[in-house]
Structure 1
């Protein structure tokens, strides 16, 4: 039996993209409210609608690449931005929902080499934030995080909330942390009274709140003491060789962030829009 290794996929320059009359944008599969298909198969989500806006502003057709997350974000960037999966399938012109974070961009491996030196991360379009939501049928009010020492809390396995809640208060919450494959599954458990609270991204929690008005689900304003990073900016990524494409995309995204386009998209999904720090300093 002979195994044939797929050749590295080739990224496309700005000129290649324009000449082809389409742009391929990678979004995560089954990731509401950012990118998903509704029961009728229609493409929905904040990232999907922003991708549509980008393509329209650049006078290009849009091709969405629906991707399944690998073990790490580094793997996703390798598979869909600069190299391609070893099984083949090519790469996208741009990937969405990538951290716009200098510390992450210049992370090094055990040999001191920058892990993602072939990736350019740019154009923040949204700030995301960690929040806690709770079921008012089970918890009347949540004034402090310490209350959750006495209630089961749902988190996505191996997420930052998972790690945080296992260690906060010197591990006193460890036995109350319940693990789920994603926040949607955790919310289903909450609706069945199997957990009393959730910790996850604000956008997802707000979307779940809007989607399930029958649930007495509220977001708390409790302080998350000791959390290394409460919020972070989300942006785009392209192959590092193609900065001209990044400049064109960045102009569209910056205008959409400043003129209210992205805020209106977020409002459609019940999500509060948090403007990235970059545009707060340049307005």
Structure 2
């Protein structure tokens, strides 16, 4: 049985919703309208993060994410303004600083941010952001000399050989704790994957473990000398994750436009060609789906 108080609260809420709906719809469309009026889509990408976003020898912002940003902007009929951002302590901080609120030091937010997790559970925990347009599935792999091959037993191989990882990453945490810590003394830390691969090339370590895209790019012209493949990670729920784009919650028209543009870029093989330019194997996201965080915090999906 409904109480009178409950009915009154519900009626007031519905009245408020009806009064606000036109304004909300106007707000949702205004973000895309403003982008088209100024002729620029501002896209946030990470700083010094090869092969996704970094500066070349001429100081230009290049990389997979930078090129995808430009392709998205072109699809929307505007030019791209690349906002290079630093990583904060967590992805939640990055989304706050660059998508829905802005950094406390100022500078505003971007229209779109790339290289964000595309995951329903993560989306539910971050309901100020809409997650759309998955474009890649990253995967943890191991690189070793070609004669060794990647079909190896990590416990056996890494008990004898040194493996390089980037400090404070999923791979680092896993290898330090895996197999009851039996291989932790064989783990060598580096500031980034590029440094780890450089040590591999010099023969200072026997393997590098980490994201496929970063390892393949760092191997460069020497890639044929190495085998790169998935690493066995027993006990870990997943050794891969989907990446997509993020826009501010409420900008649903912009979110839909970005989703459609990315879908077309995938279908036209534009995304896979961009990855190939940076010597990285392209992998489709595990599921091509639209994930939105609605105003009530729920996730809506469609394949």
Instruction: Give the TM-score category using the shorter length.
Output: 0.7 to 0.9
What corresponds to 2:176 in structure 1?
166
Change in CA separation of 1:221 and 1:159 when aligned onto 2, cut-off 3 Å: closer
- What is the alpha-carbon distance in structure 1 between the residues aligned to residue 196 and residue 121 of structure 2? 30
Tell me, yes or no, if structure 1 residue 127 matches structure 2 residue 137.
Answer: yes
Consecutive unaligned residues of structure 1, counting only runs of 5 or more, are: 1-10, 108-115
Trace 1:115-194 onto structure 2 (pairs within 5 A): 116-135=126-145, 140-142=148-150, 143-146=152-155, 147-194=157-204
- What is the alpha-carbon distance in structure 1 between the residues aligned to residue 108 and residue 80 of structure 2? 16
Change in CA separation of 1:196 and 1:269 when aligned onto 2, cut-off 3 Å: same
Consecutive unaligned residues of structure 2, counting only runs of 5 or more, are: 1-27, 291-301
Tell me, yes or no, if structure 1 residue 29 matches structure 2 residue 66.
Answer: no
Q: TM-score under structure 1 normalisation?
A: 0.86
Structure 1 or 2: more helix by fraction: 2
Deviation digits for residues 47-79 of structure 1, max 9, x if unmatched?
Answer: 111111111111111100001111111111111
What corresponds to 2:69 in structure 1?
51
Q: Number of residues paired by the alignment? A: 263
Which is higher, the Rg of structure 1 or of structure 2?
2
- What is the alpha-carbon distance in structure 2 between the residues aligned to residue 247 and residue 77 of structure 1? 19
What corresponds to 1:198 in structure 2?
208
Which range is displaced more, 230-239 or 266-275? 266-275
What corresponds to 2:233 in structure 1?
224
Tell me, yes or no, if structure 1 residue 73 matches structure 2 residue 91.
Answer: yes
8 Å Cα contact 1:153-1:198 kept in structure 2 = yes
Per-residue deviation, 1:90: 1.2
- What is the alpha-carbon distance in structure 1 between the residues aligned to residue 171 and residue 71 of structure 2? 32
Of residues 94, 97, 106, the one that matches 2:124 is: 106
What corresponds to 1:6 in structure 2?
none
What corresponds to 2:251 in structure 1?
242
- What is the alpha-carbon distance in structure 1 between the residues aligned to residue 141 and residue 117 of structure 2? 18
Deviation digits for residues 116-135 of structure 1, max 9, x if unmatched?
Answer: 22111111011111101124
Per-residue deviation, 1:215: 8.3
Change in CA separation of 1:239 and 1:208 when aligned onto 2, cut-off 3 Å: same
8 Å Cα contact 1:133-1:220 kept in structure 2 = yes
Secondary structure of 1:225's partner? coil
Of residues 263, 269, 272, the one that matches 1:263 is: 272
Per-residue deviation, 1:259: 2.3
Per-residue deviation, 1:214: 7.9
Q: Aligned-residue CA RMSD in angstroms?
A: 2.3
- What is the alpha-carbon distance in structure 2 between the residues aligned to residue 242 and residue 40 of structure 1? 35
Q: TM-score under structure 2 normalisation?
A: 0.81
